[in-house]
Homo-oligomer: A and B are copies of this chain.
Amino acid sequence: MSDDAQTPEGVRPEVAAAVGDWRAYVEAKMGFRNHWYPVRFSNELAEGQLITLQVLGEKLLLKRIDGKVYAIRDRCLHRGVPLSRKPDCYTKDTITCWYHGYTYRFQTGELVNILAVPDSRLIGRRKIQSFPCQEAKGLIFVFIGDMDPVPPLSQDVPPGFLDDDVMILGKHRVVNSNWRLGAENGFDALHIFIHKDTTLRHFRTFNFPIGHTPLPGAVQVVEDADGPKGVIDDFAQHKPIWDGVIDGRVVVRGPRSQQVQGTSASVGTSIWLPGVLKVEQFPLPGLTQFEWYVPIDGKTHLYVQTIGQQVQTDEDRQDFASNFESIYKPHGLDGFNADDIWAREVTEPFYADDYGWVDEMLCEPDTTILEWRRLASRANRGVQTPQDLR
């Protein structure tokens, strides 16, 4: 670990050693390895198209061939140049390095030829790293790791996401913070304070306390061997706070409506490995928000925001798509979540040199966050390190 600490993606070993049972979480600056991550929507990659992207520090080349998506590392084995800088695709299935003719098959990563050295002993014996791809619910997922066999996608998404009758729509954007600040911002019950001025509050009628604290029993850890691993925080078992008081005087008050049951529309928030949040009944009753914080490198993440709704008919699907474009996306994913994105980016500097993990001063409701850190440290399938990129 000490060598890594000198690289931009390395982690200070003295900090990792200081946090006890969530050490792996501190070390996972670039995310957890051997997990499935959504990287693009399916409709962003047409047949035969080649795109590049970065996830967990890996620079990937994705191509759709005969309908199926394949991903290989965008770096020639020979002299390390990006294949994408001048793509030479002489056949549908292969890419040839523009520099010296090393040729790879997309489906396997196999070195199938070196054009000017057709009898090289390397041919057929070397592979560029390839990454399993799978499409589901309109998203392209990539498995970053080398585990064999590859675990099923169903273990890496929140319960309900893959349900047959659920339709998913969404968007993505790059956020300038570490992925963990995204995950914790989303799961954090107390951060509702930053949304107190959201325009969403004026669009819909709901109770909006300035914060709420979990009561005993609110938090549940899910760690079944064959399913997704996560922490569920049941907002119905929270104590909401409506009035903010300073020096004995109420200085801020959460809006409260008689027409709505419960403390807020959300009945529960849960966070799942490898870093995906599920918010029930949000942004409106009947909807579920699923959002991923996909590490790009140690200091940026791809924020993949999706909303799911149960649909039965084509009309249901059309209604959902129409509402998504006109309401859920502008008011929720853009408007409401803009506060979250801003908060993550402002928090980034404090954690950038790792010391934030030991210098922070958590308070009582943050125990839910600590449960997540412990679960993630325990149940992940590996920590991505700079060595994994060599």
Binding site for B on A (CB under 8 A): 5-7, 75, 77-82, 85, 90-91, 93-94, 96, 98-103, 112-118, 120-122, 126, 188, 190-194, 209-213, 241, 244-247, 249, 251-252, 343, 346-347, 349-351, 353, 355-356, 359-365, 390
| Contacts A80-B356, A126-B361, A362-B78; A246 near B99 (Cβ below 8 A) | no
Query: Once the chains bind, are B90 and A359 in contact (CB under 8 Å)?
Result: no
| Contacts A190-B116, A210-B116, A361-B126; A249 near B91 (Cβ below 8 A) | yes
Query: Once the chains bind, are B213 and A117 in contact (CB under 8 Å)?
Result: yes
Contact sample, A vs B, 28 pairs, CB 8 Å cutoff = A7-B353, A75-B350, A78-B362, A78-B363, A79-B347, A79-B360, A80-B349, A81-B343, A81-B347, A82-B346, A90-B244, A94-B246, A98-B194, A99-B194, A100-B193, A100-B211, A103-B246, A112-B247, A113-B244, A113-B245, A115-B193, A115-B211, A115-B244, A116-B190, A117-B190, A117-B213, A117-B241, A120-B364
Smallest beta-carbon distance A92→chain B, Å: 10
From B77, B113, B213, B251, give the contact of A246 (CB < 8 A). Answer: B113
CA distance A121 to B75 in the complex (A): 53
Query: Once the chains bind, are A122 and B363 in contact (CB under 8 Å)?
Result: yes
How many copies of this chain? 3
Q: Contacts A80-B356, A99-B193, A115-B246 known; list 14 others, CB within 8 Å.
A: A77-B361, A80-B349, A80-B350, A91-B251, A96-B246, A99-B343, A99-B347, A100-B188, A101-B211, A112-B246, A112-B247, A113-B244, A118-B245, A359-B390
CA distance A210 to B103 in the complex (A): 14
Query: Once the chains bind, are B360 and A78 in contact (CB under 8 Å)?
Result: yes
Specify which chain B residues have a CB less than 8 angstroms from the CB of A101 in the assembled complex.
190, 193, 210-211, 244
| Contacts A80-B347, A100-B193, A350-B79; A91 near B247 (Cβ below 8 A) | yes
Query: Once the chains bind, are A364 and B117 in contact (CB under 8 Å)?
Result: yes
CA distance A118 to B243 in the complex (A): 10
Smallest beta-carbon distance A211→chain B, Å: 2
Specify which chain B residues have a CB less than 8 angstroms from the CB of A103 in the assembled complex.
246
From B85, B93, B244, B350, give the contact of A116 (CB < 8 A). Answer: B244
From B81, B94, B249, give the contact of A350 (CB < 8 A). Answer: B81
Nearest opposing residue in chain B for A97, CB measure: B193
Query: Once the chains bind, are B350 and A90 in contact (CB under 8 Å)?
Result: no
Query: Once the chains bind, are B118 and A241 in contact (CB under 8 Å)?
Result: yes
Specify which chain B residues have a CB less than 8 angstroms from the CB of A356 in the assembled complex.
79-80
Nearest opposing residue in chain B for A359, CB measure: B390
Specify which chain B residues have a CB less than 8 angstroms from the CB of A79 in the assembled complex.
347, 350, 356, 360
Query: Once the chains bind, are A117 and B363 in contact (CB under 8 Å)?
Result: yes
Smallest beta-carbon distance A161→chain B, Å: 29
Specify which chain B residues have a CB less than 8 angstroms from the CB of A353 in the assembled complex.
7
CA distance A384 to B194 in the complex (A): 35
Q: Top 10 nearest A-B pairs by Cβ distance?
A: A116-B211, A80-B350, A115-B244, A90-B251, A77-B361, A116-B241, A100-B190, A120-B363, A101-B193, A85-B346
